[in-house]
Structure 1
Amino acid sequence: MKMRYPLLLSLLLITQVGLAQVALKKYALTGLTIIDANHRTPLSGQTVIIENDLIREVFPDNSKPLPDSLVNINLKGKFLLPGLIDTHVHLATDPSGTDNRSHTLEVLQRMLYSGVTTVRDMAGDARTLAGLSRDALTGDIVSPDIYYAALMAGPVFFADPRTGTSTRGATPGKMPYMLAVTDSTNLPLAIAAAKGTGASGIKLYANLEPGLVKKIVQEARRQNMPVWGHAWLQAAIPSDLVDAGVSPLSHAPLLVHEAYKDVPASWKATLHSQQFWNDSTPDLTQLFKRMQKQGIILDATLLTYQKWAQSDSTMWYDYELGKRFVTAACKAGVTICTGTDDDQEAFVQEEIKLLVREAGLTPADAIIAATLHGAQALHIEHTHGTIAPGKAADLLILDKDPLVKIDNLDAVYLVIKKGAFYKK
């Protein structure tokens, strides 16, 4: 007799505190509708076989017999997506203060239960991040998988107080994960040391010349280390970074510096109409063509700029330009990924919704940005980002169709990470 388990019955046996975690070795999810980069048009009536932490098979319901011993979980009417990826978080800027372990673990747990299964931390205390990443990988904490960056910037940046809290007990600018670099820096050694911290990539932040950027990227490639960065480094403008091969580029509003060294003061002086911003937004068609041709990903981070603008009216220009740049970049075929850069006050679902409502992406485009494109940003697209045999069993199951209404991303029925169930 086949084992047909009503999922909720199994979970209710252990959910005394409102959260449940269940691990099964091998099981079938049936009756699902799949939505991912390979299925922009939802594919209904699908069975997904999961064994340990991998997807083993995907096929139409009843197209082949299921072994009698296999746990069969009927999810008819539910929608299956790859787990969501946030490509821009900051979990360890101040591990001795606001980012203390208790607070961070609580945030990571809520993040996973919402459907976020992977994050990229874009610079913090790598000593803390290494421990969190390890514990997430082993399942010792309830958390998305954590990838993180080692930061390189010009020496002047390290007067920033955030670098002090991220290197507490040491010297800002002299740690391998937070390093001041110049033309005299031994780059092979610096990148090897950054790699030794467990970082998955180098982040370029501020005050770097184009020539030095190219040298960093060339040496990092030799050592098989991706280079990520802000879309503007003061001395290096966006096209310099595109030509060097920095990808993803973070923060869509910074692309304005392809056309302006300094933004006009009038943009900050008063609030302007939408038509004003339509007329004032510079044409970056050539830059977007270069990005598309070279496969440079844009980490838009619109959410953090919207919140910044709401708290400081002089910064509305950043948000207004940023959303228009994302619209134009998407139309030009530039790959968009989804990062919040929001200190985890909101999760990546809010960035996805903003891309749909404000930047003109379709719900399918925005979901792909938060799944396959996020995996590409992290160089893990061979194991994550779509639903296919051999891919990681990091999945989000929804009660409602997010292609009909993007807010349905909040209708979470179940999250699966590495084959284990997480349900509120």
Structure 2
Amino acid sequence: MQVAYRGATLLDGTGAPARAGVTILVVEGTIARVAPDAQFTAADLDGVEVLDLGGRHVIPGLIDAHQHIATPPDRPLAEATLRRDFFGGVTATRDMADDLRQVADIARAALVGELAAPDIHYAALMAGPSFFADPRTWQVSQGATPGEVPWMQAITAETDLPLAVAMARGTYATAVKIYANLPGELVAAITAEAHRQGLAVWAHAAVFPATPGQVVAAGVDSVSHAHLLVHEAADRPLTTYQDKPPVDFARFAGADDAELGLLLAEMRRRGTVLDATASLWATLGREAADKESRARAAELDGLNAALTTQALRAGVSVCAGTDRDPDPTDPWPPLFDELDYFVDRCGLTPVEALRCASHGGALSLGAQERLGTVEPGKQADFVVLDEDPAHSLAALRSVVHVVKRGRRYDRAEFDAERRSASTAGTTLANGAPAV
């Protein structure tokens, strides 16, 4: 099937300025050609479905680089959340460790078009044995023992790492996620073996006792949570995830920190992507039930803003991840809040923020050769908007069409479904309660 999207104003995600009057030719799910409208002849369009966008705006599909859709497993909720995100322009997502028995099937359904949902790239988790007292590990291992399942493994110096990584690969995971309570030498060994077997490695920015510097030196592909970078400057050795050193928040509230600057320079040199989850603590602070929790969230929010901004200034590649699951009846993805945060708190322009969620997201997936920009040869994942996102990110709420793997979905159908369900006082077809 061939479709020509004509008359678009294209912001292609490469960093180039927007271009008006562009045609995007999609052939069998791939972008075959991107050129000015006038360069397409009648012969070029013979037998091609033509959709006149009439000056509407096109951006690459957005990527939420940090989600958890099955902690604990709840299939209707997961499908409702992903559907909401998808019709808001999110065409791919990173699931950062969950119950992969459920995630794998949802990923399959999204891939083959059974679900209108982002493509899901997911990780199998590895951590030190002492981490597995965490109740979340039991939520995602129901019916089995946490730390002893292929998607969530306890690792020690005696672990057969080739076998452990092979078991993770058997879940069809994209990556190994290194979470907590592992020393630097084990982080390096896991990373080397995962890469040898063709898996990416996604890690917390501090693994405890492994420091951020040791995690980056191990060669991981991305690190998560900007506020954890602060532990590179800890005033005592790191021990465990459950025993984090105190932070001198005032130290990082002003100018860029020199000690962290060295770490960020190494991340830039290596191409280590920062999954900042920058807006997370601001959201948690708004939801906090008591004054003490709100105060702590405010301190961590300030730290997130300062360190994400310093990373961006240092030239580190930053992706846009949310790490939160708001009510799926909210009509728009939480990713929009992360992008607003990049603009309002980190000084990015709307175009720069969008690039974090497209090209940056593709880097976080290791999929930059096929995702993240609207260019010939790339997978046909893009979003059609009524309004100009280069002027304001509010334009993201003007979605008209979402195209994933060349298949077009209309936002109007999603909105009509929501209105109909609300009027009837029922639930949506995917199990979400009506608004």
Aligned-residue RMSD, C-alpha: 1.8
Helix, strand or coil at the partner of 1:72: strand
Query: How many aligned residue pairs are there?
Result: 390
For residue 321 of structure 1, the aligned residue among 290, 303, 306 is 303
- The offset of 1:308, in angstroms, is 2.1
Larger mean Cα displacement after TM superposition, 64-73 or 197-206: 64-73
User: Hey, what's the Cα distance between the residues in 2 that align with 1:384 and 1:104?
Assistant: 23
Helix, strand or coil at the partner of 2:254: helix
- Residues 265 and 415 of structure 1, relative CA distance in 2, 3 Å threshold: closer
User: Hey, what's the Cα distance between the residues in 2 that align with 1:324 and 1:153?
Assistant: 28
Aligned twin of 1:402: 389
Aligned twin of 2:336: 349
User: Hey, what's the Cα distance between the residues in 1 that align with 2:68 and 2:257?
Assistant: 29
Equivalent AA in structure 2 for residue 223 of structure 1: Q
User: Hey, what's the Cα distance between the residues in 2 that align with 1:188 and 1:121?
Assistant: 23
For residue 309 of structure 1, the aligned residue among 270, 285, 289 is 285
- Do residues 68 (structure 1) and 55 (structure 2) align? no
- Deviations along 1:166-190, whole A, 9 cap, x unmatched? 0100000100110010100000000
- The offset of 1:76, in angstroms, is 2.1
Contact 1:281 1:324 (8 Å CA) reproduced: no
Aligned twin of 1:199: 173
**Mapping for residues 51-200 of structure 1, pairs under 5 Å:** 51-66=27-42, 67-95=45-73, 100-200=74-174
Equivalent AA in structure 2 for residue 291 of structure 1: M
Contact 1:252 1:301 (8 Å CA) reproduced: yes
Contact 1:34 1:43 (8 Å CA) reproduced: yes
User: Hey, what's the Cα distance between the residues in 1 that align with 2:368 and 2:210?
Assistant: 29
- Residues 39 and 209 of structure 1, relative CA distance in 2, 3 Å threshold: closer
- The offset of 1:257, in angstroms, is 0.3
Identity of aligned residues (%): 40
- Do residues 291 (structure 1) and 267 (structure 2) align? yes
**Mapping for residues 249-260 of structure 1, pairs under 5 Å:** 249-260=223-234
**Mapping for residues 205-354 of structure 1, pairs under 5 Å:** 205-260=179-234, 261=236, 264=246, 277-278=253-254, 283-310=259-286, 311=288, 312=293, 313-345=295-327, 346-354=333-341
Aligned twin of 2:425: none
User: Hey, what's the Cα distance between the residues in 2 that align with 1:321 and 1:69?
Assistant: 56
User: Hey, what's the Cα distance between the residues in 1 that align with 2:131 and 2:92?
Assistant: 29
- Deviations along 1:272-317, whole A, 9 cap, x unmatched? 8xx9822696751111111111111100001222112332222322
- Deviations along 1:82-120, whole A, 9 cap, x unmatched? 10001100001111xxxx211211111111100000001
Contact 2:14 2:359 (8 Å CA) reproduced: no
Contact 1:303 1:342 (8 Å CA) reproduced: no
- Residues 49 and 185 of structure 1, relative CA distance in 2, 3 Å threshold: same
User: Hey, what's the Cα distance between the residues in 2 that align with 1:264 and 1:176?
Assistant: 34
For residue 352 of structure 2, the aligned residue among 343, 365, 373 is 365
User: Hey, what's the Cα distance between the residues in 1 that align with 2:375 and 2:256?
Assistant: 44
Gaps of 5+ in 1: 1-24
Aligned twin of 1:3: none
Q: Name the TM-score, length of structure 1 as normaliser.
A: 0.88
User: Hey, what's the Cα distance between the residues in 1 that align with 2:180 and 2:96?
Assistant: 13
- Residues 280 and 369 of structure 1, relative CA distance in 2, 3 Å threshold: closer
Equivalent AA in structure 2 for residue 351 of structure 1: E
Helix, strand or coil at the partner of 1:85: strand
- The offset of 1:265, in angstroms, is 7.1
Contact 1:117 1:144 (8 Å CA) reproduced: yes
Equivalent AA in structure 2 for residue 246 of structure 1: V
- Deviations along 1:171-226, whole A, 9 cap, x unmatched? 00100110010100000000011001111000010101001011111111111111
For residue 48 of structure 1, the aligned residue among 24, 38, 48 is 24
User: Hey, what's the Cα distance between the residues in 1 that align with 2:297 and 2:256?
Assistant: 15
- Residues 344 and 188 of structure 1, relative CA distance in 2, 3 Å threshold: farther
User: Hey, what's the Cα distance between the residues in 1 that align with 2:257 and 2:189?
Assistant: 32
Equivalent AA in structure 1 for residue 69 of structure 2: L
Helix, strand or coil at the partner of 1:183: coil
Contact 1:79 1:397 (8 Å CA) reproduced: yes
Helix, strand or coil at the partner of 2:16: strand
User: Hey, what's the Cα distance between the residues in 2 that align with 1:255 and 1:317?
Assistant: 15
Helix, strand or coil at the partner of 2:11: strand
User: Hey, what's the Cα distance between the residues in 1 that align with 2:256 and 2:90?
Assistant: 36
Helix, strand or coil at the partner of 1:169: coil
Aligned twin of 2:362: 375
- Residues 230 and 266 of structure 1, relative CA distance in 2, 3 Å threshold: closer
Contact 2:256 2:310 (8 Å CA) reproduced: no
